[in-house]
Amino acid sequence: MELTTIWFLLVAVLFTGYFILEGFDFGVGMLLPVLGRDDRERRVMINTIGPVWDGNEVWLITAGGAMFAAFPEWYATLFSGFYLPLLLILLALIARGVAFEYRHKRPEAAWKRRWDAAIFFGSLIPAILWGVAFANILRGVPLAADHEYAGGLLDLLHPYALLGGATTAALFLTHGAVFVALKTVGDIRDRAAALAVRLGVAAAVLAVAFLTWTLTIRSSTAAVVLAVGAALALLGGLAAAKVRREGWAFTGTAVAIALAVATLFAALFPNVLPSTLDPAGTLTATNAASTPYTLKIMTWVAVFFTPIVLAYQGWTYWVFRKRIGVAHIPQH
């Protein structure tokens, strides 16, 4: 396999990992005002993701770094072209990251309320905007022959992109609800499981519509197979959630997100950012790539370190595998 293809796959894997992992912590953040009826319940929810959210976010930083290293043209055009959406994502991630760490540092209700808002919006905004961004990558954006973005903000906001945003938000909400059901005990667990099913139906409708629309824009056999797999996995996850098999439900939503992201990348390949303006502006895995020498070094680094990272990150989830409930939340 060509090095550029390997790196296209690796970037796809990194974003897939990012959306599976941060997907549920975005979901938990968005559900905070919905499922968390009082401070203790909200603390239960935050503590289900407390030890892991930061590690989850590093998947994004690594995906960004991998894009920069392996496909500098892609990184440069995408990040400068999607300027304002990325700015909003950054501001949201700043607010929510600080909120997790600072919320419990003072007892006042007003203090906590503000950080709760930061967690809610800090999770909602990226959950929507990542869908908008990926829909635009799939649909293509106006690029000049020199690969510069030639559109404006409004070129990024069209019905297909908005459907993409709604889809990722709904998927992450479902994934988050299933995660809360999986990681908690007591009343909140029951409510989360019930909500997961209702959210999941909406997510399934949106996801099927979005993936179908995607496949009419660009498609491949692999993409169709993956899209069908994503839909089936989501339905399986919902069925499991309905009968309260929470481990299977979480597996289902995780696989659904993975296959949905894989669908997008499979449909996109070999392009990485198609141009709707000048065909010469289209960025592909070949013309956006770094030199074979750089890719080779990066491949060796990835081959050596990725299994180590997966091992210790997986172990962290094992360490914090226990369910928590309001009884586990300390007073202070």
Q: Which of residues 143-182 bind another protein (CB under 8 A)?
A: 148-150
Q: What are phi and psi of 275, to 5 degrees?
A: -100, 135
Cβ proximity to another protein, 241 vs 273, nearer residue? 273
Residues 185-214 touching another protein, rule: CB under 8 A, are none
The Cα–Cα gap between 120 and 99 comes to 10
To another protein, the closest distance from the beta carbon of 176 in angstroms equals 16
Name which of 122, 128, 214 is nearest 171 in CA terms: 128
Rounded to a whole number of angstroms, the minimum distance from the CB of residue 33 to another protein is 16
302-309 contacts, C-beta under 8 A, 24 or more apart:
302/10, 302/66
Contact with another protein (CB under 8 A): which of 60, 135, 234, 257? 60
Q: What is the DSSP letter of 70?
A: H
Beta bridge partners of 141: 275
Q: Rule CB under 8 A: which of 62-91 touch another protein?
A: 62, 64-73, 75-81, 83-84, 86-87, 90-91
Q: Which residues in the 260-299 window bind another protein by CB under 8 A?
A: 290-291, 293-294, 297-298
327 binds another protein (CB under 8 A): yes
Q: Is 9 in the site for another protein (CB under 8 A)?
A: no
Residues 6 or more apart in contact with residue 248 via CB below 8 angstroms: 236, 237, 240
CA distance 214 to 194: 30
DSSP characters over 106-158: ---HHHHHHHHHHHHHHHHHHHHHHHHHHHHHHH-B-B-TTS-B---SGGG-S
Alpha-carbon torsion (247, 306, 264, 142), positive or negative: positive
| Secondary-structure breakdown of the chain: helix, strand, coil percentages, each rounded to the nearest 5 | 80, 5, 15
Binding track over 24-43 against another protein, x by CB under 8 A: -------------------x
Instruction: Name the segment binding another protein (CB under 8 A); options: 231-239, 251-259, 271-279, 307-315.
Output: 307-315
* Smallest separation, CB 89 to another protein (Å): 8
Q: Which is nearer to another protein, 141 or 204 (CB)?
A: 141
Q: Which is nearer to another protein, 94 or 209 (CB)?
A: 94
Secondary element (H or E) of residue 273: strand 271-273
Query: Position 302: which residue type?
Result: A
Among 34, 194, 232, 309, binds another protein (CB under 8 A): 309
In the bound state with another protein, the residue whose beta carbon lies nearer, of 83 and 279, is 83
Q: Minimum distance between the CB of residue 110 and another protein, rounded to whole angstroms?
A: 13
Q: Out of 218, 242, 245, 328, which residue is the one contacting another protein (CB under 8 A)? A: 328
Which region among 128-136, 159-167, 236-244, 315-323 touches another protein (by CB under 8 A)? 315-323
- Closest C-alpha to 264, from 92, 117, 101, 136: 136
Neighbours of 310 (CB within 10 A): 11
Number of residues that bind another protein (CB under 8 A): 73
Question: Measured from the CB atom, is 51 or 209 closer to another protein?
Answer: 51
Residue 113, interface with another protein (CB under 8 A)? Answer: no
Task: Return the residue of 94, 157, 280, 303 that touches another protein, per CB under 8 A.
Answer: 94
Tokens (6 digits) for 196:
């997961």
